[in-house]
Structure 1
Amino acid sequence: MASSLRINFDKSCLVKIGRNFLMDECWAEIFRCPRSTLPINYLGFLLGGNHKRKDFWNPVINKIEQRLAP
């Protein structure tokens, strides 16, 4: 409230973490935003994927290589 920033619920979604699915439904209804599950993309990166797999890191490596290329 001090910064006067607001959440844009049209661009937001509630991501289920844990087991209490009924609470997720309740929060989604309160905030009037859709629900989603992991994995999701956040700021262009995959959240909730298997970070131990080599191909998980390919998008990150590609972005770094693009930034370093002349």
Structure 2
Amino acid sequence: MSSYQDNIRPWAVFQRLPSGFSELCGRFKKRSDADAYMSILRRGDGVFEVAFDRESATPTTGKQGDAIQARN
């Protein structure tokens, strides 16, 4: 179930894991804030993506990464 905080922060940064799943790294109100955070994370290792996470409003089944629309 999504919380009020999730609903007011629809932009999410996910890290793609080698297993094929994605891990949520942070949620933001503005896309520009999510992009800035992702640029900091990319200084290390890993593949990161910003997504407008509409799936937070409904329970998900399967891989979280299926709902991600990547921006490279």
Could you state the TM-score of these two structures normalised by the residue count of structure 2? 0.30
Give the structure with the higher percent strand.
2
Higher relative contact order (CA 8 A, sep 6+): 2
Structure whose CA Rg is larger: 1
Could you state the TM-score of these two structures normalised by the residue count of structure 1? 0.30
